Amino acid sequence: MKQYQLSTGEKKFIGSHLLVAILALAVGSLFGPLQAFEHAGWDFYPYLKPFIKSYYQGLTVHGVLNALVWTTFFIMGFLTFNVTFALKRPLKNPTLNKVGFWLMVVGVVAAAIPILANEATVLFTFYPPLKANWAFYVGLTLVVVGSWVEGWGLFMTFAGWRKENPNVRSPFVAFASILTALLWQICTLGVAVEILTMLLPWSLGLIEGVDPQLARTYFWFTGHPLVYFWLLPAYISWYAMLPKQAGNGKMFSDSLARLSFWIFLVLSTPLGFHHQYVDPGVPPVWKFIHSMLTFGVFFPSMMTAFTVVASLEHAGRKQGGKGALAWIGKLNWSDPSVAAQLLAGILFFFGGIGGLTNASYNVNLVLHNTAFIPGHFHLTVATAVTLSFMGISYWLLPYLTGRKLWNPKWAVAQAWTWFIGMIIFSNAMHIVGLLGAPRRVPLGLAPYVPAEWNSRLFQVGVGGAILFVSGALYLTVMLKTALNKEKVTEEVEVPMAEAMQDPALTPDWLDRWAPWIYGSLALIVLVYGPVLFDMIKNIALTSPGFRVW
Amino acid sequence: MAKKDKDDDEFRPTGTIAVLTIFVITLIAIWTTIYMILVGRGSTL
């Protein structure tokens, strides 16, 4: 059966998201290895003056471009593709989505100018009292608002489909994409309030001081579900696309997949205090409640692990795989899209373990603000998410452009070098963190580094070098593919795995939105409301701003 | 409607159970290691 056809205009629109995302990754990734090299004692920052004035400016460029811009643009493009392709219909109001996209672009430019001018060296968490130029906050606001507007366009498209198909089970890929966009709309209320009520007026001189505790609480209202905004699109691919690519497998359970997404929606926002265990201004009982809810997320995470691995096992068995684990070798490892996503999933196992230790109220005291934390999130956002997105782009770019993927063997090598580089880098960061090395510190300059850290810091540099090579390979493959004169002979098949059981048999309550949305909002009000009410009632806009780099 | 294969009915995810068992054992081992570091640093950390 011939697959649904996107128009050339739609392909270009989605491709525009990929273009901005990959450009951001290209610039941001230049600075990642510089951080790693600095830790190893190979400091290249003095050679970058006057363009880049400090380690912290480089760290800000790396964090903002890679963690915020690369991810947000790729995700909005991927969600747009998923909704239109899976619902087999164009966007209801494409102009609205275009407005959203351009708002995001303007926002990136507005934020980039002060960052490059060293007027916004506040890292990607932009915690006050570190103070940035107002244009940085305006830029971030526009990126968020633009992504909301694009989300509204997706909601309208889904609503139009539902109106015409009242009793039909929504396709999983469209359902999960809409849910991801909805999660983003809810959770970004935190940073929106933070920027609009405090940081922006403060940076414009309208208010004299800021309340750092309240600002951090607003930030983590968004900051943790931001992780799920990154992860859920990768999960969509792992659940519903990867099994097909890996060996013509099927999704093990449509019901389990939907249930896990609903629980992610409900639980991913009201748990931000597990990032603030050492904040003195948050009462311990609320930290405890948030820690319990954090462990609640373990359940949909394990449901995801079970369903995804079972779907892959189904693919492996279909290819003749035997034994308890030998089927893994039968998966389609020669396909770079598959290799990248499988390797991302393997490292995510360890990222999940690190996340659970971070979330443990007592154990977190060993890890908080140590190098363990960047070690952990380089397994999650920089591997589970980024390597998966790279894998997705290995079929999505040829699909959008009609050009053959340039040199698939190089693409496979890229996935493996990322995997190996990240193991070396991240393992060393975890261990040196456990030994007490702080995060967000140019350790190459620190006079207190004991001898036992040195071999690990060297490994951080080696890992960073391998990741740099891998990043360059990715950019080369993308660029060469975009310019490839060799066209695909037939349109690239979009990998959509069927569910083993007919989705029509999935319970109706797993396809109803209102109860889950009301439940999510109610839980947020219950576990954030009293603390936020108290913090706002006692707001102390007393802290002056600091520009220390 | 999705086509149901005979293989689908017979499919038992035994390998998945093995993978997740390894995961849980690794999780317990790593978590316990870090907990022992916490204990080793004393109760007044």
- Predicted confidence (pLDDT) at residue B43 exceeds the cutoff of 80: no
Topology of the domain comprising A8-537: Cytochrome C Oxidase; Chain A (1.20.210)
Q: Is A439 among the catalytic positions?
A: yes
CB contact under 8 A, B34 and A503: no
Min Cα separation A323/chain B (Å): 7
Q: Which of A377, A425, A468, A474 is catalytic?
A: A377
CB contact under 8 A, A356 and B31: yes
Q: Per-residue pLDDT tens for A380-422? A: 999 999 999 999 999 999 999 999 999 999 999 999 999 999 9
Q: How far apart are CA A127 and CA A277, in angstroms?
A: 16
Q: Per-residue pLDDT tens for A56-98? A: 999 999 999 999 999 999 999 999 999 999 999 999 999 999 9
Beta bridge partners of A546: A130
- Predicted confidence (pLDDT) at residue A541 exceeds the cutoff of 80: yes
Q: How many CA atoms lie within 13 A of A325 on its CB side?
A: 5
With a CB cutoff of 8 Å and minimum separation 6, the contacts of A243 are A249, A250, A251, A308, A311, A312, A314, A315, A497
Min Cα separation B21/chain A (Å): 11
Mean pLDDT confidence for A336-348: 98
- Cβ atoms of A376 and A358 closer than 8 Å: yes
With vertex at residue A229, the alpha carbon angle to CA A122 and CA A170, rounded to the nearest 5 degrees, is 160
- Cβ atoms of A399 and A494 closer than 8 Å: yes
Residue-wise DSSP of A346-410: HHHHHHHHHHHHHHSTTTHHHHTTBTHHHHHHHHIIIIIIHHHHHHHHHHHHHHHH-BPPS-HHH
Chain A residues whose CB is inside 8 A of the B11 CB are 314, 317, 500
Q: 3-class SS at A86?
A: helix
Neighbours of A515 (CB within 10 A): 10
- Predicted confidence (pLDDT) at residue B44 exceeds the cutoff of 70: no
Q: Per-residue pLDDT tens for A359-381? A: 998 889 889 999 999 999 999 99
Name the token pair of A127: 């915690």
Buried b (16+ CB within 10 A) or exposed e, A201-240: bbbeeeeeebbbbbbbbbbbbbbbbbbbbbbbbbbbbbbb
- Predicted confidence (pLDDT) at residue A548 exceeds the cutoff of 90: no
Q: Look at residue B1 in the predicted model and tell me its pLDDT.
A: 46
With a CB cutoff of 8 Å and minimum separation 6, the contacts of A61 are A27, A28, A31, A52, A115, A116
pLDDT band of A428, cuts 50, 70, 90: very high
User: Nearest to residue A140, comparing CAs of A440, A76, A273, A148?
Assistant: A148
Q: Per-residue pLDDT tens for A457-476? A: 999 999 999 999 999 999 99
N-term to C-term CA, chain A? 59
Q: Is A376 among the catalytic positions?
A: yes
Min Cα separation A298/chain B (Å): 12
Give me the interface pTM, i.e. the ipTM: 0.90
Name the token pair of A451: 């001898």
Residue of A nearest to B2 (CA): A502
- Cβ atoms of A233 and A75 closer than 8 Å: yes
Q: Is A169 among the catalytic positions?
A: no
- Predicted confidence (pLDDT) at residue A305 exceeds the cutoff of 50: yes
